[in-house]
Amino acid sequence: MAVKVLIVDDSSFFRNRIEETLGSDPRIKIVGTAVNGTEAVEKATRLRPDLITMDVEMPKMNGIEAVRQIMQVAPTNVLMLSSLTHEGARVTLRALEAGAVDYLPKDIRAWMDRSSDLRKELIDRVVALGTSRNFNTNAAFGRSPSASGSSTTMVFRPEPSVPSVGSTRDVEVKSALEARRQHVSRVHSGQDQTVSGLSARQQDSLSKVSTSSLAKPTKLPDCRLVVIGASTGGPAALQAILTRIPSNFPHPILLIQHMPSTFTKVFAERLNQQCAIEVREAVDGDRMRPGLALLCPGGMQLMIDPRQTDKLKIIPGDERLTYKPSVDFTYASAARLYQSKVLGIILTGMGADGCEGARRLKEAGSVMWAQSKETCTIYGMPQAVVNAGLADAVLDLNDIGDLLSAPNGKK
């Protein structure tokens, strides 16, 4: 059945371009358009689309208020279209707090040029989100913690990168590329079923079988570092987890969220305002410490300095790696230097980034947790880890937050 889409934008140019792009794919059916937020709420209620593309700035009612009302009267996955500016990032995060599930850059030049990359990205995102029934109903994102501290294919187009330089960086890039090469080899030889050859029903059955014997943990494993990877739906998931963590959390935390460079700084600042722990965008040379969560800047890669293992290196996104930032890259770096003392957590997202890094962590003796399908916006990245047999536990989002909030055992 085709994904039913409602297009909301006060610009006839963007409405036409979006309709033209989505209408070219047989998996998608345009059920209506709206020119302002008021009309969007009315048509969302009447037409019951599977997904809504939403502009931010519109007359009568803006996109943020429209999302808020739609989530109250007709919960629907909403994909925001916003500019790649500091203000665009701030407004987009407000839309996610209101209930939107994801967003895409609104680059006028790419839309005018009918960019094939943008076309594929929009279609892929709409199909994935339109078939998901896990809505961002704002159960957690945007709420401040209490005094106690409780409360993808790549998601964005790669930014310009430079050739690899320096022996340390090249080792990490080659490590990630070798992991990918081995993964492709396993797929072609029939040894790995995490990607091709399985229907959605078969993958779901495999996931259920592989998780049925996993025991639910009651406390954090013996670790020195927590590394969390996320993509589509990640901002809300990360906020739900991080706002539960107390200020005296005993380990440093590294965050890898697929997000453009103009968004990561704003996102980190917003999390820092809401969390008991300190959260900020990582810079080259940062030192890790307990109670500090460092978010990898968009378009870059985050690795641990092999000469000073409490120190980070932030390096340009290498053109040989698809994801910028890459969960695989940071997982592999952590596995190489911290061996069995890492807790890897893979959250909601399209694609399979993190799967090969998870394999490296497991080979080193570390522990991997995956977010459950029932609480994921998109069960892509966690599913790849689960189906590859690399997850030690599959947990609901709230359970992950609870375990991190009481590292020595359940409250």
Active site residues: 231, 258, 353
28: which strand partners?
3
| 300-304 and 312-316 strand pairing | antiparallel
Residue 39 is which amino acid? E
- DSSP E strands in 274-358: the ranges are 278-281, 292-295, 300-304, 312-316, 342-346
Which structure tokens are listed for 271?
A: 């999390």
Indicate the Cα dihedral angle 372, 374, 380, 382, nearest 10°: 0
Helix, strand, coil percentages in the chain from 3-state DSSP, rounded to 5:
40, 20, 40
Q: How many residues does the chain have?
A: 411
Sign of the dihedral through C-alpha 306, 311, 317, 323: positive
Residue 28 is which amino acid? I
* Alpha helices in 99-211, H assignment, sequence order: 108-112, 116-130, 167-189, 200-211
| 3-8 and 312-316 strand pairing | unpaired
> How far is it, in rounded angstroms, from Cα 382 to Cα 174?
24
Element of type H or E holding 229:
strand 225-230
